[in-house]
Amino acid sequence: MTHEIQAPPRQIGFWTCLALVIGNTIGTGIFLIPAALAPYGWNALYGWAITIGGALCLAYVFAALARLMPDAGGPFDYISSAFGPMAGFFVVWSYWISQWVTNAAIGIGLVSYMSPFAPGFFARPSVGPLIAIGIIVLMTSIAIRGVRASGAIQIITTILKLLPLVAVIVALAFVLGGDNSAMATAANVAPAPIGWPAIAGAIALALWPMQGFESGTVPAGRVIDPARTIARATMIGTVIVGLVYILVTLAVFLLLPSNVAAKSSAPLADLISLVWGTGAGKLVAAFALISAIGALNGWVFLQAEVQLLLAERGVYPRIFARVNKAGMPVYAHLLGCALSVALIAMNLSSGMIQIYTFIILLATVATLVLYLAGALTMLALIRRGKAKGAAVTAAALAGAIYALWTFYGAGAEATLWGAALLATGIPVYFLMRSRAGSSPPGVAIPVAPPGSSA
């Protein structure tokens, strides 16, 4: 049984919001990306520094937007305040696509961590994708139960997923401070010459595991004291993730020879096995599963929140504003789940790696649309005198440049995919516009005076 509501209940506090930011950013990427970065040598750390710097600038912009518009429902309201509801719709439409696409990617990545525990079973054709589909359906059923159920899982899995990453950092400190300090040596780092092309390649690879820092802004309508909570969770979460990523990559580079790391399907587990034995390495692989489950839980929750807000603003079918007794948009969850499942099912004949690579490309480009739009929104508000401050101006400029450069770095194929994803929203938007008489107009969200913003 469902009914319509004008605004969801505010049930998300600071810790759940922080868990969304950290939990959605730390998914499967960091457990695999050190292997992909190994051939780049020290260029990888420069790439990480630029990627994390760009993410911090964009995180600061989204945090400032949350302070400026504490009554906003999320990114749609932010962008609409500067460029109108049409721009808000298409940007958030692209972002919503990236979310259910990301769910498919995480499901596939999650199954890849299961395979070492039962290699014979997972070697069978279609077994992996079918299990990924089952996991997505399971997490959707949990999300439908309510914010408290999803929030509890998010907090628990975020704490657990940090443990293996901290263990890798501790392993490096243990080696450096012990009798085996010779194990950690710069000789293990690939001898790649420092150069901009290599750094640019590392930046492109590092972008995927950094996506998700904006997660705290998406369910803004459910957040308690959003102006303070979202801003704090977004900045603190992004800083924590950035520091952990750099230290984990450094540990892999110093402890694993580059030729070994580059060929590893589980570089963090291999590192821990080297320091503390194979049993500990398998434990890290198990925690990688928990990390993927936590990320999937968070993204499943958020993809329905986007549809809920669009429906409430009258630019999306009203059926997606219907919620159950727990306040969850059931039809929005069912649609997102169906699309994620369909994406995996359409690629059942492909290999797991081919599916994962294709899906990552889709999700990355679609998310970049939101990042660029967020930075441009802040610059527009500053120009109109609705926001001010040297720090936020610099962050918005740097964030916009970073997003534009990343679009360029993604290549023509990725850009075309982004345009195609945006185009899928055209019939939906104009159909809703033609039925405007039966749907409420977009809600105007007031912008707080500049003096009250960050």
Alpha helices in 115-195 (DSSP H): 119-122, 127-144, 147-176
Q: What's the half-sphere exposure (Cβ side, CA atoms, 13 Å) at 379?
A: 16
- CA angle in degrees (0–180, nearest 5) for 49-50-55: 100
Average pLDDT over residues 77-88: 93
pLDDT given for residue 239 in this prediction: 94
Q: How many whole angstroms separate alpha carbon 223 and alpha carbon 14?
A: 8
pLDDT beyond 90 at 348: no
Task: Give a yes or no: residue 127 inside a domain.
Answer: yes
Task: Give a yes or no: residue 112 inside a domain.
Answer: yes
Task: Give a yes or no: residue 8 inside a domain.
Answer: no
Quickly state the pLDDT bin for 141 (edges 50, 70, 90).
very high
Q: How many whole angstroms separate alpha carbon 16 and alpha carbon 154?
A: 7
Task: Give a yes or no: residue 2 inside a domain.
Answer: no
- What is the tens place of the pLDDT at every residue in 21-43? 998 899 877 887 888 888 889 99
Task: Give a yes or no: residue 5 inside a domain.
Answer: no
Domain count, the chain: 1
Note down the domain range covering 197.
Answer: 13-452
The DSSP element (H or E) to which 323 belongs, if any, is: strand 322-323
Average pLDDT over residues 106-130: 77
Q: How many whole angstroms separate alpha carbon 340 and alpha carbon 100?
A: 5
Task: Give a yes or no: residue 7 inside a domain.
Answer: no
Q: At what angle do helices 85-114 and 75-83 cross, to 10 degrees?
A: 150
Q: Provide the CATH number for the domain around residue 210.
A: 1.20.1740.10
pLDDT given for residue 247 in this prediction: 92
Q: How many whole angstroms separate alpha carbon 332 and alpha carbon 320?
A: 5
Task: Give a yes or no: residue 6 inside a domain.
Answer: no
Residues 6+ apart with CB under 8 A from 124: none
Question: pTM here?
Answer: 0.85
Which has more confidence, 408 or 225?
A: 225
Listed residue (114, 345, 137) closest to 122, CA to CA: 114
Q: How many whole angstroms separate alpha carbon 73 and alpha carbon 66?
A: 9
Q: How many whole angstroms separate alpha carbon 108 and alpha carbon 132?
A: 6
- What is the tens place of the pLDDT at every residue in 330-342? 999 999 999 999 8
pLDDT beyond 90 at 59: yes
Quickly state the pLDDT bin for 359 (edges 50, 70, 90).
low
Task: Give a yes or no: residue 189 inside a domain.
Answer: yes
Average pLDDT over residues 366-371: 88
pLDDT given for residue 353 in this prediction: 52
Structure tokens at 183: 């194990």
Q: Judge whether 44 and 277 are in contact, CB under 8 Å.
A: no
pLDDT given for residue 221 in this prediction: 83
